[in-house]
Structure 1
């Protein structure tokens, strides 16, 4: 039986997954969530909520919508954006810091950093990217509705980062199914 409500609002360890992910980027400003308006009441007041166009247009369209949010005229403009799924209940601030540091690596020409799982597969919904490189790539791709993040971000030069080395359970564990959510709940209780 499926659990009710938008997936990011589902709780692991009593905390909605979207709030767990936002906690991992607590120091970041601005923080933008791309999703349904129904999430707004759940989120801290400083979080900006927007929606991709068309609604349910997929992760590449969501990335573009988040990047297109009009920011306040005061304060510095971010040069790195962190793209994260809202269903990563074990994401940590250390994992995000590791991704951002890899994306800023001045020793090599990179456009960003993407997390890889234990099998070496890119986890496109867990990465840090140069805002300039991401904007340029979005304009190159054109139609984003229905476009995967692999198609969007795979055209960029990325450092691969094994976040399993940063924390356990691995920060890239995502909850795509009810079984995943139940497993995350079990892992949460096992950590206590």
Structure 2
């Protein structure tokens, strides 16, 4: 059976605000951010990570956009080379609270919207989350061709070139928002603290039994 969707995880960027650390490989709980995201898109037929060489699970492809660091639009184009499904989910690698249910909702929303080329999540402030969407591959390829050359192109330019349907995600108890990303050391600290709290809520473990993300002194 043909895959319902494939997935591109954008893991490039220079991580300048993280002192040059490889952001996708930073841990939240016992997994790296990239591992969290790859788990969320585990239903994909093909999973492609676009970025520098880095550890991934068996069966996951890693490719580098050219030139390296040329932006998410160029990264999407590079990832599409390996995509065969009619729908592709495109997400950032620094979304540690992304869940498979969110991906399923995106793919379903796109399927229900016959005139849409992409389904995007809208956050609580009404802002489009460009790197949390499901795209129809054929119109995406057309839009990318029209925007060429792609290095340095902004995601907003790509989104404005296609037909968009948007979904709002209902609050799910105390679940962290799936669009929470990590751009700075302060963001990382908050994400780790949120993960510890959420883990305690889900497991009923006391704080001393929840493994800390920080190295022991």
Is this a same-fold pair by TM over 0.5? yes
Specify every segment of 5 or more residues in structure 1 that has no aligned partner in the other structure, as ranges: 72-76
Provide the C-alpha distance between the structure 2 equivalents of 1:35 and 1:15, rounded to a whole number of angstroms.
Answer: 19
1:48 aligns with 61
1:115–1:160 Cα contact (<8 Å) kept: yes
Deviates more, 1:3-12 or 1:173-182: 3-12
Q: Does 1:154 align with 2:170?
A: no
Match of 1:179 among 175, 182, 186: 186
Give the distance between the partners of 1:3 and 1:185, measured in 2 at CA: 18
Displacement over 4 Å in runs of 4+ = 1-4
- Cα offset, 1:9, TM superposition: 0.7
Q: State the TM-score, normalizing by the size of structure 2.
A: 0.79
Residue 22 of structure 1: aligned partner: 38
How many residues matched?
182
What 5-or-longer segments of structure 2 have no aligned partner? 1-16, 200-217
Shift of 1:150: 1.2
CA contact (8 A) 1:141 1:152 kept: yes
Kindly state the Cα deviation for residue 165 of structure 1 after the two structures are TM-superposed: 3.6
Does the alignment pair 1:100 with 2:114? no
Structure 1 residues 96, 166: closer, same or farther in 2, change over 3 A?
Answer: farther
* Structure-to-structure mapping, 1:56-67, within 5 angstroms: 56-67=69-80
Q: Corresponding residue for 2:134?
A: 128
Compute the RMSD of aligned alpha carbons: 1.7
Q: Distance in 2 between matches of 1:54 and 1:102?
A: 34
Match of 2:88 in 1: 81
What TM-score do the two structures reach when normalised by structure 1?
A: 0.89
Give the Å deviation of 1:3.
Answer: 6.2
Matched, 1:90 2:88: no
Deviations, residues 111-131 of structure 1 (Å, cap 9, x unaligned) = 110111110101101100000
Distance (whole Å) between structure 2 residues aligned to residue 176 and residue 82 of structure 1: 21
- Aligned residue among 171, 174, 188 for 2:195: 188
Give the 3-state SS of the residue equivalent to 1:94 in structure 2: helix
2:18–2:183 Cα contact (<8 Å) kept? no
- Deviation of residue 2 (structure 1)? 4.2
**1:74 corresponds to which residue?**
none
